[in-house]
Chain A
Amino acid sequence: MPLLYVPIAILILYSFNDSQLVSVWSHFSTRWYGELFKNAQMREAAWLSFSIATISATASTVLGTAAAFALRSMRPSPGRSLFEGLLMVPLILPEVLTGLAMLLLFVFLGEAIGWPRTRGTATIAIAHITFGMAYAAVLIRARLSQQDPVLEEAAADLGATPWRIFWRVSLPLLAPALIAAWLLAFTLSLDDVVISSFVTGPGASTLPIVVLSSVRLGVSPQINALASLLVLFVAVLMIAATLVLRSSSRQKHG
């Protein structure tokens, strides 16, 4: 199983290699990190990616939560199956198809209603929200189905209106799933290159788009440094989330 980590470990190791030739080790250096931070295009792309990821993760979580609650309140019916199926669409479709379909939609909308006039940050975010909410809904539904509806009944019995029940009981109990869903949507957005490439426009190059165009030309030490930083960032995020989730599950099960 540790074998799974070898490619990434070597990538991180070589990000500290001074040599321009990525596969020949010369000596330890942080030279490529320095060059990375000086790279204005990278900085801008990183800022853009993080902004889009934050927005789309938040919206995905809201929409995914809504979808999960809607599905729970619906009785089995053809309409419900249809909604469930629709929610699965972004999970099943190959990325190239999703990307193409989204782009064609934006082109169509641009002609039909004049929006979006140009593609870029907004269209990328919208595309990311669409698949993000599908993933978020899966996680939140799983948690919601484990939740005992008697707690909501107890809140109603104690005088809480449906809205108050939602805010005071349902949502706090879902917190771990909401955090997990947000993180998943965030990393998926941060990572997406195929769909972004389709729906982006002039000037809006996310980090993965820059990385892809760079690595298609070959291995680059600067990209190694960037990749190492991203891995570190995600690892920290994951460990933090795991700790949060573990403490809350301990709270629940004693």
Chain B
Amino acid sequence: MSPKSLSGSRNIRAFTLGLPLGWLILLAFLPCLIVLAISLVEARIGTPPYEPLFTKGSGLLPRINATADNYIRLVTDPLYLDAFLSSIRIAAISSLLTLLLAYPMAYAIARAKKTTRALLLMLVILPFWTSFLIRVYAWTGLLNSNGLINNALVKLGLIAEPLPLLHTDFAVHLGIVYSYLPFMVLPIYAVLEQLDWTLIEAAEDLGASPLKAFWRITLPLSLPGIVAGLLLVFIPAVGEFIIPDLLGGPDTLMVGHLLWTEFFNNHDWPMASALAIALLVLVLTPAMIVYHLRRRGEAAS
């Protein structure tokens, strides 16, 4: 293109790239660096409640007041270690439970008639659009010791005393499964919808029973959707705050919740930052592993 017209489209490109890129660098990248910096200093009482990372040194170079104390506490204090292990356990179990529930749903939707498919999908997605907070809160009314479920069970004579349902790890698992179900259904559905069903017919024609055909054909082919779904549930679940806060009990230990407590209750910003960095690693690791596996798979095929 001529220099003049080029400058026209160049302006557009500078605008479309520059604005979001600048925003992201300033408001997504820089904050992460600051978290990393704060995680390396000591807490103090004051405003802000942490020591500066750089102070005026003796020479031209500033003095760096970095310390690994917060990270040492992270691995030596059993509270933090337990919180991490417990987060991973809760997120992993919940992800698997979500998978068990979501797979049949996705399968049913994918095999439904084309016209009903859209409606069924809509039904799965719609709750996702209503407030997360409200959806979690709604369970507190159901799980309460004088909530609907306990009242019903007592009335039916199945139990004498109300079961402790709310403020338990059970409630946390339930909350995660309920809240993140669409994240599992959608990617699995996306894969199943693309599936060539004549493959299953071919397998059955070759002598595989329906169950065998599912196990040897459908399931392996829907693996990408399953992996995507597990990631999409595990990643937000492992750092979840609202669900353990509203549904969990005093024994429920989760990193996201602990970070909140360190920050708001203990005002230990550096410790909260160290927890945040550890959480970041925890979240990025599975994503990276899957990304590389997929890249290698693409390279191989």
User: Chain A: residues with CB nearer than 8 A to chain B?
Assistant: 1-2, 4-5, 7-8, 10-11, 14, 21-24, 63-64, 66-67, 69-70, 73-74, 83, 86-87, 89-90, 92-98, 100-102, 104-105, 107-108, 111, 126-127, 129-130, 133, 137, 161-163, 166, 187, 190-191, 193-194, 197-198, 208, 211-212, 215-216, 218-219, 223-224, 227, 230-231, 234-235, 238, 242
Contacts of A198 in B (CB 8 A): 263
Q: Chain B: residues with CB nearer than 8 A to chain A?
A: 5, 8-9, 12-13, 15-17, 19-21, 23-25, 27-32, 34-35, 38, 48, 105, 120, 122-124, 126-127, 129-135, 137-142, 144, 146-148, 151, 178, 181, 235-236, 238-242, 245-246, 256, 259-260, 263-264, 269, 272-273, 276, 279-280, 283-284, 287
Question: B129 contacts which of A83, A166, A193, A238 (Cβ < 8 Å)?
Answer: A238
**CB <8 Å contact, B273 and A23:** no
Interface of A, helix, strand, loop or mixed by DSSP: helix
Q: Which of A7, A63, A161, A242 contacts B138 (CB 8 A)?
A: A7
Instruction: Give A218 to B144 CA distance when docked, in angstroms.
Output: 10
Known A-B contacts: A4-B123, A93-B239, A137-B20. Give 13 more (CB < 8 A): A2-B123, A8-B138, A67-B16, A70-B13, A70-B21, A73-B16, A94-B238, A104-B273, A191-B132, A194-B242, A208-B131, A216-B245, A219-B144
Contact of A93 with B280 in the complex, beta carbons under 8 Å: yes
Q: Known contacts A23-B147, A162-B5: does B287 contact A70 (CB below 8 Å)?
A: no
Query: Which residue of the partner chain A has the closest CB to B134?
Result: A227
Q: Closest residue of chain A to B139, judged by CB?
A: A7
Q: How far is the CA of A153 from the CA of B275 in the complex (A)?
A: 51
Contact B133 A193 (CB under 8 A): yes
Picked from B21, B147, B178, B279, the residue with its CB within 8 Å of the CB of A83 is B21
Cross-chain contact A104 with B23 (CB below 8 angstroms): no
* Complex CA distance for A25 and B43, rounded to whole angstroms: 50
Min CB–CB distance A235 → chain B (angstroms):
7
Q: State whether B29 touches A89 (Cβ < 8 A).
A: yes
Q: Please measure, in the bound complex, the distance between the C-alpha atom of A219 and the C-alpha atom of B23, giving whole angstroms.
A: 39
Residues of B within 8 A of A208 (CB): 131, 133
Chain B residues with CB under 8 Å of A218's CB are 140
Establish whether residues A11 and B241, one from each chain, have CB atoms under 8 Å apart when the complex forms: no
Q: How far is the CA of A105 from the CA of B71 in the complex (A)?
A: 21
A136 to chain B, nearest CB (A): 10
A52 to chain B, nearest CB (A): 15
**Cα(A107)–Cα(B53), bound, Å:** 14
Give chain B residues whose Cβ lies under 8 Å from the Cβ of A161: 5, 8
- CA–CA, A21 to B280, complex, Å? 42
A7: B residues at CB distance < 8 A: 135, 138-139, 141-142, 178
B151 x A97 contact (CB < 8 A): no
A96-B256, A105-B27 in contact; A23/B151 too (CB < 8 A)?
A: yes
Q: Is the CB of B263 within 8 A of A100?
A: yes
Can you list 24 A-B pairs, Cβ within 8 angstroms, ordered by A?
Answer: A1-B105, A1-B120, A4-B178, A8-B135, A10-B138, A11-B138, A63-B20, A70-B13, A70-B16, A86-B21, A93-B239, A100-B35, A100-B259, A101-B34, A101-B35, A104-B35, A104-B269, A126-B27, A130-B28, A161-B8, A212-B242, A219-B144, A231-B134, A238-B129
